[in-house]
Structure 1
Amino acid sequence: MTAPQNDGGRYRQRPGRPLVLAFLDPKSSTSRSQLAVLRSMATQYGPSGLTVALVDATGRAGHDDLVNLRYDWHLDVAGVLVLEPADPAALAHSYGATAIPTTLLIAPDGHLARRWDGTVAPAQDLALPLQDLTASPAASP
């Protein structure tokens, strides 16, 4: 799986693929609840093209902490990317993330399909639009 591309401090998704981008505090219980949902979505919809990426929006988790987070939560196995931007607060700000957690669902064409600020995005709320965004185009008769 390839990471979203760095474009001047913002991350762009893979062309034609939906992206769930989450700004979390890895030490927060609310963020960890969101992490469980993200891992589930990556496992379920990753094979259909979904990219799930998370950022430590606080910038307080060091590289080793993020490596441990990947390992402890089996994020690499699920296909969840843990991004380590040089300035996580600036990246969060560029996406309008002012609360933790903030989770964004970005459609394959790059527009914001849905967002959740300061709350866990429930699996059901993510799954319904993801079913549409990851569905294969209907075959023409």
Structure 2
Amino acid sequence: MKKGDKIEFKGIGTIMALIVQKFGGTSVGSTDKIKNVAERVLRQQKQGHQMVVVLSAMSGQTDKLLGLAADMQDMPDPREMDMLLSTGEQVTIALFAMAVKAAGSDAISLLGDQVHIHTDGMHTKARIKEIDTELVHKHLDAGKVVVIAGFQGRG
């Protein structure tokens, strides 16, 4: 097998590749930008690729959340900062899944904990140690675009 070869899966059809794409806050900074990224992802899915999309918070959202935290406490607890900041990604993944569905395809948004992203537990600067991909593959095999929140995991 060489690069670009198509693989025939019984009952699923032809799948060219599993593609994982990460989009930062500027790329998904407005609902129009989210729709554009969703269309781009769907073009690749229509070519036969399985798609996993990892998203950051919309541009400006993290700064707003940091400002809210600063209003509460000069030096917030790192764990609570992680809890607060991760909400920005949750908004983006839900909106992205809605955009995919509005375009006529299917998607599911998942939090880091739902896909069992295990980290080293270092709040505000954690590194991924392991990901259990079983749930991701289940949804990919069902033809869905899997949308995962960045900046999330369980230590």
Asked if these proteins are the same fold (TM beyond 0.5), I'd say no
After TM superposition, the score normalised by the length of structure 1 is 0.35
TM-score, normalised by the number of residues in structure 2: 0.32
Between Structure 1 and Structure 2, whose CA radius of gyration is higher? Answer: 2
